Amino acid sequence: MAKKNGTHDLDVTIQCPACHEYGVFHTWDVIDTADAKLSERVHFDENLFFYTCPHCHAKIHMESKCLYIDRDKKLLVWHIPDPKERVTSKEVQDALGSPSFTTYTCRAALTWGEWREKIIELESSYDDRLYEIIKYGAYQLLSQEDKDRLPLEAYHIDYADDSHDPDKLALVFMQKDAKGMAYVYPITEHLKEVTKDIFLPIIEQIADANRKAQFDRFGYSWARQFTTYIIKAAEEDKNRETYGNLIGFWVKTIGDEIFRAEVKPE
């Protein structure tokens, strides 16, 4: 019998970096969406992974390993802060309470922010890798001045509005040194279609079919590598003009569909 709720919590003893006093941090190493309240917190509670020191009240951002399980949507998303660490099948099977997870989409993320972003992307009906390509492409269109003002580390994908519709996502550019100030650009259906038509066949062509349960990190760096590879391959192809035109058309579509106002593409 498979477990119905694999949520697992633990207490970790913390020495406060500010006052050096000890305290206990309550956290989770497995979060299962069967626990609806906790799942809600993953999506909307910014303080979920913060430790508040009971002695000096310093707020400390904690990074620790955690697996997110959604049995209905068949998602497994690991937050693994150490990029060198690999998870074993046994760890996943133990958390899931089931020997097989081949029907699940498996992903890994390095930070809590990336982890939440990945969960939101995977809950939509659109391919998360295509979202990452759109995210990467749009950032390339910013001027250097805007890149300095809207840093990459705080740039992310989130819900476009308060309806929290999983199919209405947006690119969110946070302004440096202005807490909470953000530019929100909804990702349009047309841009999604164009990106899918151009890139999905290539992703499917180069993807290893056996990698389904591999917990890959399909984030910004992956999108950068992938796009660089595509452009290089296009330059070497005999149909380079066709590919070049397609990429040019895609870049123009991002400009038209995303940046209609505030941020002007170069």
Binding positions for Zn ion, rule: CB under 5 A? 16, 18-19, 53, 55-56, 58
C-beta of 50: minimal distance to Zn ion in Å?
13
Rounded CA-CA distance 74/68 in Å is 11
C-beta of 13: minimal distance to Zn ion in Å?
13
Q: Measuring CA to CA, how many Å separate 241 from each of 196, 197, 233, 249, 259? A: 20, 17, 12, 12, 26
Q: Measuring CA to CA, how many Å separate 262 from each of 134, 154, 183, 255, 259? A: 18, 18, 8, 12, 7
**Nearest alpha carbon to residue 128 among 140, 143, 117:** 117
Closest CB to Zn ion among residues 57, 252: 57
Closest CB to Zn ion among residues 53, 254: 53
Rounded CA-CA distance 48/42 in Å is 7
Residue 155 neighbours by CB under 8 Å, 6+ apart: 135, 139, 171, 172, 173, 174
C-beta of 17: minimal distance to Zn ion in Å?
8
C-beta of 240: minimal distance to Zn ion in Å?
60
Closest CB to Zn ion among residues 21, 241: 21
The answer to whether the beta carbons of residues 89 and 137 sit under 8 Å apart is no
C-beta of 59: minimal distance to Zn ion in Å?
10
